Structure 1
Amino acid sequence: MIKLAGIDIGNDSIKLVLDGSREPLVIPNIIAPGYERHMLQEEDSPWKALDVMIYSPSLSQRNQRYFVGQLALEHEDNLELEDTDNKAVSDQSLIVALTALAYQGLTNQAFNTGYGSADEVEYTLGTGLPVRAFAKYSQQFEQRLLGEHEVTFLSTPQLHNRKIKVSIRKVAVSIEGAAAIFHLATHDSLQVKDEEIYNGVIGVCEIGALTTDFPVIKRMAIDNHFSHGEQIGIATYLDAIIRDVEDAYGYVFPSRAKLVQRIKNRNFTIQLLGEGQVDIRPIVDQHFRRAALRMIEMIKKRWRKYPDIQCFYVIGGGASALKPYIQEAAGSLKLRFANESEFLNMYGYLKVAKSRLPQAAPV
């Protein structure tokens, strides 16, 4: 049975949802070199200890072992994507995406088992790329995903030494931000939910980790001339916060993802060497206010160039973090935000796959 899924291969995290499910899987887009672990106590969830060996013809190194996501989060040799990376051709993004697809297949028992062979899960995927990368890299991105890949879980609790073949049969690639608006405008059945969005001229500011995209959508079609992307995202400001905290207090965040967890949980107190504690909220506020001002200036610039835009949506994982700062910086400028902002593209990719590949729906 082919599973239909939407996967947002974000620079900060991979977000995956299966058709018919409202429970997305989120894995930080972070890896570390894998090795035999010295186990004192097994983790209470397989998600916390994704220890995998991956074979894929699309990877430059095959049959390599990696710690993925949460397990790599605090590892001293972990790797996060930088602003020079392109996720369309990134081995790291593919490693985390394949791990997510394999994990979802095993935990949802969505696989076929052959005689003496690995379990197999088959997918039709909807996914996307930033505006600037889409025209140049969408076909290459699609080809890297298509085909058969193999993921073996090693020390992962409950999945010890389980091998699964991930077969990706079809891929629909769309544009980040535009897919999110398609999700907001339609029901799961793809019928129109919001006439204003569906038939209007909508501006989008989609704030990611490493990019901010400004697609303009006119009656659900991308405006080729006015849609634009910037090679800057919230990661620039997270890196600055990490540097300032280290300079001021000697406290080192092992990864951006670790800082993001704290910000999401509104836990701004760090432990100093000894018994002291300090609040880093003023440092976070300073940099996020700078980020918000930058975003507002870019939105105003796009809106001036295309005054026919009826409304501007600010979405994405960065929008969730920056919302109060952007609202403060916007003044009288009215902007729209949406619930579950970081998941909008993922749900949109699923719907785009449904609309473009109806013959690939599960049977």
Structure 2
Amino acid sequence: MKIAGIDLGNDSIKVVHDGSREPVIVPNIVTPGYERHILQEEDSPLKALDVTVYSPSLTHNNRRWFVGLLASELEDNIELEDMDNKALSDQSLVVALTALAFTGITHSSYQTSSFSQTDELEYVIGTGLPVRTYTRFREQFEQRLVGEHEVMFMSTPQLRGRKVKIRIRKAVISIEGAAALFNLATQENLQIQNEEIYNGVIGVCEIGALTTDLPVIRRMNIDNHFSYGEQMGLAGYLDLIIREVEDQFGYTFPSRAKLSQRIKQQNYVIQRIGEGQSSIKPIVDTYFSRAAQRIVDLIKKRWKKCPDIQCFYVIGGGAAALKPYLIDAAGPIKLRFVQDSELQNVYGYLKVAKNRVNQSLTTDTAQ
């Protein structure tokens, strides 16, 4: 049985397996699939995830989907919006199952005897929900994940015709941001590596695409009174940038994922019709500065309400994108940032799942 952490981010789904530090990241974008006219096959399966998915939790089954990078290039792609709830989202489940199937059969420790047979994978997974939806939707989310699902790869290079049956035996649901802190506080063997975090009162600001979560953690326990979540993230500001770029320069980004990729690479120059070029950095600076100021205001408010907080860690994909803007907006207030900010949750989910499995084994042995 495999143990995996899976972060159902509104911008991307991230999966990491026990024994591996290399996560697979799939943009949380889909578009209805069809027979592709392939002039040259892609050099990586991740660039052409073309699947048919069955799950008892889906509203519509056995539909064909282009997923991730393939969908991000198409104009009719679907990205999650503010009103979407990842605990109930069919789109997030389709992308998550595709990512689990892909990582399961391409993971270095996986062996298969025949490409003609159905590959069968069993999982215990760790995952999470935002603060505001955790209490109400945790059980429903768990029920949607646990069970038997099936993914069939269609035109995906190297995986064409592979059918993968996924059995999720257990799903351990954490709160976004809290799992990330657990990862920072512990070693790979789950022993304590940072006493300050593990035994302290720590504030977390986890900036996602559609939500910003501000859990307060006391000795690795969630503070029910002061933990808070805001229904805002980076996606709204990316949408504003896309619209402003289109209005000013007539250049259209087909998806937020394409714009995010440019920003991560610090490639702000766009090609205009003809031979002209323009920089979109002034537009990015304007909207990211506004986003950073709003988030710093949220952090100040939490800190004022709970003065016991010793320090604030800012994590998530939004933290990586906004770091210089957040530092500028925070002024004399020191905020803590970490490397691989967008991966802290998924590493934390894996550790939480491993911890739960270890506890079950200890209980079984004692009995």
Could you say what secondary structure the match of 2:196 adopts? helix
Residue 73 of structure 2: aligned partner: 74
Partner amino acid, structure 2, of 1:277: Q
Verify: 1:221 aligned to 2:221, yes or no: yes
Could you say what secondary structure the match of 1:314 adopts? strand
Structure 2: gaps of 5 or more residues: 362-367
Contact 2:292–2:325 under 8 Å retained in 1 = yes
Could you say what secondary structure the match of 2:301 adopts? helix
Verify: 1:4 aligned to 2:3, yes or no: yes
Contact 1:211–1:231 under 8 Å retained in 2 = yes
Residue 212 of structure 1: aligned partner: 212
Residue 301 of structure 1: aligned partner: 301
Residue 59 of structure 2: aligned partner: 60
Could you say what secondary structure the match of 1:252 adopts? coil
Contact 1:235–1:256 under 8 Å retained in 2 = yes
Cα distance in 2 for residues equivalent to 1:197 and 1:15: 24
Residue 354 of structure 1: aligned partner: 354
Could you say what secondary structure the match of 1:357 adopts? helix
Could you say what secondary structure the match of 1:168 adopts? strand
Cα distance in 2 for residues equivalent to 1:54 and 1:299: 41
Verify: 1:180 aligned to 2:180, yes or no: yes
Cα distance in 2 for residues equivalent to 1:286 and 1:261: 18
Deviation at 1:98, TM superposition (A): 0.2
Partner amino acid, structure 2, of 1:92: Q
Partner amino acid, structure 2, of 1:289: S
Verify: 1:251 aligned to 2:256, yes or no: no
Deviation at 1:110, TM superposition (A): 2.7
Q: 1:129-148: per-residue Cα shift (whole Å, max 9, x none)?
A: 00001000011111101111
**Mapping of residues 120-135 of structure 1, within 5 Å:** 120-135=120-135
Partner amino acid, structure 2, of 1:106: I
**Mapping of residues 185-334 of structure 1, within 5 Å:** 185-334=185-334
Could you say what secondary structure the match of 2:40 adopts? coil
Cα distance in 2 for residues equivalent to 1:56 and 1:110: 23
Contact 1:113–1:119 under 8 Å retained in 2 = no
Deviation at 1:359, TM superposition (A): 6.0
Deviation at 1:358, TM superposition (A): 1.8
Residue 365 of structure 2: aligned partner: none
Cα distance in 2 for residues equivalent to 1:174 and 1:295: 23
Could you say what secondary structure the match of 1:298 adopts? helix
The ranges of structure 1 where at least 4 consecutive aligned residues each deviate by more than 3 angstroms after the TM superposition are 111-117
Partner amino acid, structure 2, of 1:201: V
Partner amino acid, structure 1, of 2:83: T
Cα distance in 2 for residues equivalent to 1:174 and 1:128: 4
Contact 2:115–2:162 under 8 Å retained in 1 = no
Cα distance in 2 for residues equivalent to 1:359 and 1:306: 32
Could you say what secondary structure the match of 2:15 adopts? strand
Deviation at 1:113, TM superposition (A): 6.4
Contact 1:8–1:127 under 8 Å retained in 2 = yes
Could you say what secondary structure the match of 2:94 adopts? helix
Q: 1:48-72: per-residue Cα shift (whole Å, max 9, x none)?
A: 0000000111100000000000000
Verify: 1:145 aligned to 2:169, yes or no: no
Partner amino acid, structure 2, of 1:44: D
Contact 1:73–1:254 under 8 Å retained in 2 = yes
Cα distance in 1 for residues equivalent to 2:171 and 2:98: 17
- TM-score using structure 1 length: 0.97
Deviation at 1:112, TM superposition (A): 6.3
Cα distance in 1 for residues equivalent to 2:20 and 2:354: 14
> Number of matched residues?
360
- TM-score using structure 2 length: 0.96
Deviation at 1:76, TM superposition (A): 1.3
Structure 1: gaps of 5 or more residues: none
Deviation at 1:357, TM superposition (A): 2.4
Say what the alpha-carbon RMSD is for the aligned residues: 1.4
Residue 335 of structure 1: aligned partner: 335
**Mapping of residues 84-163 of structure 1, within 5 Å:** 84-108=83-107, 110=110, 117-163=117-163
Cα distance in 2 for residues equivalent to 1:140 and 1:358: 25
Contact 2:116–2:162 under 8 Å retained in 1 = no
Q: Identity, % of aligned pairs?
A: 67
Contact 1:111–1:122 under 8 Å retained in 2 = no
Could you say what secondary structure the match of 1:283 adopts? helix
Deviation at 1:111, TM superposition (A): 6.2
Residue 25 of structure 2: aligned partner: 26
Q: 1:286-333: per-residue Cα shift (whole Å, max 9, x none)?
A: 000000100110100010000010000110000000000000111100
Cα distance in 2 for residues equivalent to 1:230 and 1:113: 48
